[in-house]
């Protein structure tokens, strides 16, 4: 089965050996996305709403680069540094997935770098 990497234009080289996403059999696996800009700098330090928006916008860009939309996302794994941010994260998340939201789970986890409040990885079924 061929695997096709999905990498974003204008993105600085990643600080780890990874692709932004991989497509295999019309399924897109999006790497864990942190609230980084194109230069791998953290956006919105200390603000879960800003960071959630940045992460989902980054996911959206990967999905669109692969030929899909956020409507094609079927599963999200969400990692929060602090579960006290759960409600605020969900408020922003609901703006992006208002109808038939993807299946998901959310757990508390230590994240690196320390100014990142969340990380989300996604799976999308792309149109053929």
- Label residue 117 exposed, middle or buried (CB < 10 Å: 0-12, 13-18, 19+): buried
How far is the C-alpha of 96 from the C-alpha of 71, rounded, in Å? 9
The CB density around residue 78, as the number of other CB atoms within 10 Å, is: 20
**Catalytic residue status for 116:** no
For residue 22, give Cα distances in angstroms to 29, 72, 87.
5, 15, 30
Q: Do the beta carbons of residue 89 and residue 55 sit within 8 Å?
A: no
Catalytic residue among 8, 11, 45, 106, which?
106
Nearest of 17, 103, 22 to residue 66 by alpha carbon: 22
**Tokens 């149109």 sit on residue:** 127
Active-site residue set? 106
């Amino acid at each position: 089965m061929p695997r096709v990497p999905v990498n974003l234009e204008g993105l600085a080289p990643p600080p780890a050996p990874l692709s932004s996403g991989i497509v295999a059999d019309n399924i897109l696996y999006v790497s864990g996305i942190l609230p980084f800009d194109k230069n791998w700098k953290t956006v919105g330090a200390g603000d879960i709403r800003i960071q959630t928006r940045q992460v989902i916008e980054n996911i959206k860009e990967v999905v669109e680069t692969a030929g899909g939309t956020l409507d094609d996302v079927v599963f999200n794994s969400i990692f929060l540094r602090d579960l006290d941010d759960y409600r605020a994260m969900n408020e922003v998340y609901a703006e992006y997935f208002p109808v038939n939201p993807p299946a998901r789970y959310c757990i508390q986890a230590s994240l690196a770098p320390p100014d990142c409040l969340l990380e989300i990885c996604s799976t999308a079924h792309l149109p053929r």
